[in-house]
Amino acid sequence: MTVPNITLNNGVSIPQLGFGVWQVPPEDTRAAVATALEVGYRHIDTAEMYGNEKGVGEAIRESGLSRDEVFITSKLNNGFHAYDDALKALDKTNEDLGVEQVDLFLIHWPLPGVGDFVETWKALEKAYADGKARAIGVSNFQQAHLQRLLDETEIVPAVNQIEVHPYFSQNALRAFNSEHGIVTEAWSPLAQGKIVDDPAITKIAEAKGRTPAQMTLRWHLQRGDIVFPKSVTRSRVEENFHVFDFELSDDEIAAIDAVNRDERIGPDPDTFNWIP
């Protein structure tokens, strides 16, 4: 099963399918990531906020894979948006992961009511120049937030990691990302498991002999987004990985497009200003 790579705007390659570890308890993370690596995943999405970077690093080291065979993303936690705090937080992330440089480092949330995310982005630019991350990007940035970075800073974010799933298809923001060379990463790609019971998706899945999760992941992949579904159940980890030996037809894509109801599960980035 070969996972395609996507080339980011600075030339770095990222596997289009990865494994997400939000809500995987720290004590279970090493085993969960070990399973994902055994199944064949080579891209792990974590964050300082998830509290499990150490387990991610341990599993990768114990896997026998070399460092450059596994792509690691982590994210700046909300309490560290000040310039110096952001630089220190990335050093701590690299230390906890046990790596010289993380592959991709993101501002987790823009927190527009808290401080100035432009200053935070300038810290990430400095860290990138210093080799602390192979690529830098953002998460949960709306168009207006991205526009400020485009107008006021040097480096265009490599990715914007945003909530996207069949109930929240985000086509306008995805189009804005792509116009500016920013790759969309779709978080909660399975709508946190809710799509499994969707009647329209179940119907086309049954007709094709695939599962609703596989149909939904294919929908994302064929739209060009990067995904990293999360599961701690081995059979689901395998199921979510086996999505490269079939394709959705235009009609099947249209059937999944039709379930959109512009409904978020997560917070609205324009008003979310939470600091843990």
Residues that bind ligand NAD (CB under 6 A): 20-22, 45, 108, 139-140, 161, 187-193, 196, 213, 228-231, 236, 239-240, 266
Measured CA to CA, the distance from residue 226 to residue 178 in angstroms comes to: 13
- To ligand NAD, the closest distance from the beta carbon of 191 in angstroms equals 6
- CA-wise closest residue to 89 among 49, 118, 56: 49
Tokens (6 digits) for 272 = 């979310």
Closest chain position to ligand NAD (CB): 20
| Active-site residue, from 50, 83, 128, 167 | 50
Q: Which is nearer to ligand NAD, 70 or 213 (CB)?
A: 213
Q: In terms of C-beta density within 10 A (0-12 exposed, 13-18 middle, 19 or more buried), how is residue 26 classed?
A: middle
Phi, psi of 254, rounded to the nearest 5 degrees: -65, -35
- To ligand NAD, the closest distance from the beta carbon of 182 in angstroms equals 14
Measured CA to CA, the distance from residue 57 to residue 229 in angstroms comes to: 19
50 is an active site residue: yes
Q: Which is nearer to ligand NAD, 101 or 137 (CB)?
A: 137
Phi, psi of 177, rounded to the nearest 5 degrees: -55, -50
Q: Which is nearer to ligand NAD, 38 or 64 (CB)?
A: 38
Whether 51 and 84 have beta carbons less than 8 Å apart is answered as no
Measured CA to CA, the distance from residue 186 to residue 221 in angstroms comes to: 10
Q: Which is nearer to ligand NAD, 87 or 164 (CB)?
A: 164
- To ligand NAD, the closest distance from the beta carbon of 128 in angstroms equals 19
- To ligand NAD, the closest distance from the beta carbon of 8 in angstroms equals 17
Task: Identify each DSSP E strand in 159-267 by its residue range.
Answer: 159-163, 183-187, 226-227
Q: Looking at the annotation, which residues are catalytic?
A: 50
